[in-house]
Amino acid sequence: MPMIDIPTRDGTADAYLAHPGDGAPHPAVLFCMDAFGLRPHLKSMADRLASEGYTVLVPNVFYRYGRAPVVELPEFINPAERPELVQAVGPAARTLTPEGAMRDAAVYLDWLAASPLTGDGPVGVTGYCMGAGLALRTAGAHPERIAAAAGFHGARLATDAPDSPHLLAGHITAELYFGHADRDSANPADQIARLEKALTEAGVEHRSEVYEGALHGFTQADTAMYGAEPTDRHWVALLDLFARRLTD
């Protein structure tokens, strides 16, 4: 599948596009990357999703810093043994503000809407780690476009910050699903409860589950945090959500 370039107000975002390969239009999905960025494993996840009948766009959201891969990564990522890898992505991550992320999301959604490979129906969003927050923000910023959004092992979804993603709950019309990691310092129990409360009070249709024993990053098979069982569970939940909410 091809890499493409998408012009934005702040530069050019490189992105991976996955499609069933039949030339026909399919429901669009915006795939929000984790902090380690657009790399072979994320492309394989997008390919898996595309094989289920979706046109999947995976932007390099750190394009302001550089084209993917924005940092040099080993084939197997183990932050415990190489903490410098986490430090290395910090400068790239700081180039993406909430405001910039939402400007970009509008551009990505416009690109998907204009593509002959997507249908006329609503869009789905899925995000991983930091991407779960981007998925939540996208659902809140573009309720007229997003029918389904999911986040897995999300980070800082419901903090005390004045721009925390959960504060957009009142704008969301999509159905949401969250698969939280049980062992995740980036998304502690009090933040999960705060997110749940905000969504419930806003009347957002959602399901929020804690995957027992799962680590932050459990879907990422090229990392030491990977878990086969929670990853399989994530695919079941994600595909069920999209099958119900996305139509051609």
Q: What is the CATH number of the domain that holds 241?
A: 3.40.50.1820
Count of CB atoms situated within 10 Å of the CB of 28 = 26
Instruction: Answer for the pair 185, 154: CB distance below 8 angstroms, yes or no.
Output: no
Q: Which of these, 207, 155, 148, lies nearest to 181 by C-alpha position?
A: 155
Token digits of residue 235: 């695919």
% of the chain with per-residue pLDDT over 90: 96
Q: Which residues are catalytic?
A: 129, 184, 216
pLDDT for 204 beyond 80: yes
Q: Are 108 and 124 in contact (CB under 8 A)?
A: no
How far is Cα 74 from Cα 90, in angstroms, rounded to an integer?
Answer: 17
The confidence score (pLDDT) of residue 134 equals: 98
Mean pLDDT of the chain: 97
- Work out how many domains the chain is built from and give that number: 1
Mean pLDDT in residue range 149-157: 98
Mean pLDDT confidence for 80-100: 94
What's residue 247's pLDDT?
Answer: 80
Task: Find, among 123, 136, 130, the residue nearest to 153 by Cα.
Answer: 130
Q: Residue 248 — pLDDT band, cuts 50, 70, 90?
A: low
Please give the average per-residue pLDDT across 23-37, as a whole number. 97
Range of the domain at 160: 3-245
Q: How far apart are CA 248 and CA 243, in angstroms?
A: 11
Q: C-alpha 166: how far from its chain's center?
A: 15
Q: Would you state the pLDDT for residue 26?
A: 98
> What is the Cα–Cα distance from 93 to 202, expressed in whole angstroms?
30
* Cβ 187 vs Cβ 178: under 8 Å: no
Residue range 98-113: mean pLDDT, rounded: 97
- For 228, residues 6+ apart whose C-beta sits below 8 A from its C-beta are none
Q: What is the mean pLDDT of residues 12-19?
A: 98
